[in-house]
Amino acid sequence: MSPMTKVFVVLTSVLSIAVSCLFISASAQWHNWRADAQEMATLRDAAITNQMQMVVAAEAALAMKDNALAEKDREIVKLVDTQRERNDEIAAQRSELAAVRSNLTASESSRTLIEEILAVTTGERGGLQKLNLALSTENTELQTRNISLNDRTLELTANVAILTDEARDLQEKLFAAEQNNAKLRTRLASAPRGTDDERGARPPVVSTVAGPIKGRIVDVDGRYASVNVGDTSGVVAGMKFMIYRGTTYLGDLVVDRVRPKEAGGRLELLSGEVRPGDPIVYDEN
């Protein structure tokens, strides 16, 4: 055999051995792989079953999540509605707050004005209190004066009562004197008349004051009138006063009754109506 053949045979033997080893190794590996494949298939089936269970569980969880989401959506809608209502309430409260602030501003202005008015009123009150004190003092003085005047009035009233009684007595005496005078005149008229020398001449009327005497008619009763001048003005019985109104002559008044502050007499030669207030004058010239 040639060396090449030997080498070839050796190589072939080695290669056969190697291939046998590889085949044996591959066969053993194949069994291992098949066992692994079966184990993997078993694991795969278990994994698929587990996966399907997980999918079912996930789907159930997802359904639950969907329900929860739907519930959350409903809650969100409710919350949105509630938020909208809250926003409306907040807007209304803001409007009320603005109105309250406006009212507060107006109240502050009113309070300031009231404080100013109160200050003025307080000042006026102080002035009124001073005025009231002065008026109280003056009222006390007036009451004192009133008491004095009341006492004086009572005194004057008593004096007037006394003077009224005296005037009444004088009127009664005057009436009695007039009655006696009338009786005497009646007697003189019924007595026989003599000569002027026997009766004596009537004394002339003489005034006790110099110059004219002026007055006014006080009362008119038919043909008799009273005037506001009397004995203290120089009037005596028998005087003849001229009565006039403006520049119109109305007649004469002949005095037959005289008192200190008044007199009365007959109206004569009347050319018009004599009224109270008409002027009279006596001038001996």
Beta strands in 158-284 (DSSP E): 213-221, 224-227, 240-245, 248-258, 263-268, 279-282
Helix (H, G, I), strand (E, B) or coil at 216: strand
pLDDT digits (tens, 9 = 90+) for 135-157: 888 888 888 787 877 777 767 76
Helix (H, G, I), strand (E, B) or coil at 184: helix
Residue 41 sits in the same domain as residue 121? yes
**Residue 79 in domain:** yes
Q: What is the mean pLDDT of each run of 10 residues along the chain (285 residues)?
A: 78 85 81 81 84 84 86 89 90 89 85 88 86 84 80 69 58 56 62 46 52 90 94 92 90 94 92 91 80
Residue 115 sits in the same domain as residue 47? yes
98: left (phi over 0), alpha (psi -120 to 50) or beta: alpha
Question: Quick check: 277 and 246 in contact, CB under 8 A?
Answer: no
Domain count, the chain: 2
The pair of structure tokens assigned to 85 is 């209502």
**Residue 85 in domain:** yes
Residue 29 sits in the same domain as residue 145? yes
Residue 220 sits in the same domain as residue 148? no
Look up residue 207 and give its DSSP letter.
-
Distance, CA of 232 to CA of 228 (rounded, Å): 11
Pairing assessment for the beta strands 240-245 and 224-227 based on DSSP bridges: unpaired
User: Residue 233: which domain range?
Assistant: 211-285
Half-sphere exposure of 208 (CA within 13 A, CB side): 9
| Residue found under tokens 């409710």 | 78
**Residue 269 in domain:** yes
**Residue 130 in domain:** yes
**Residue 147 in domain:** yes
Give me the pLDDT at residue 279, please: 95
Name the domain boundary from 130, 152, 174: 152
Class of residue 45 by CB neighbours under 10 A (exposed 0-12, middle 13-18, buried 19+): exposed
Residue 219 sits in the same domain as residue 134? no
Residue 131 sits in the same domain as residue 46? yes
Cα 35 to Cα 25, 46, 47, 187, distances in angstroms: 15, 16, 17, 199
Residue 123 sits in the same domain as residue 231? no
**Residue 118 in domain:** yes
Domain of residue 259, CATH code: 2.40.10.340
**Residue 72 in domain:** yes
**Residue 159 in domain:** no
Residue 31 sits in the same domain as residue 120? yes
pLDDT digits (tens, 9 = 90+) for 62-114: 888 888 888 988 998 998 898 999 899 989 999 888 888 888 888 788 888 88
Give me the pLDDT at residue 37, please: 80
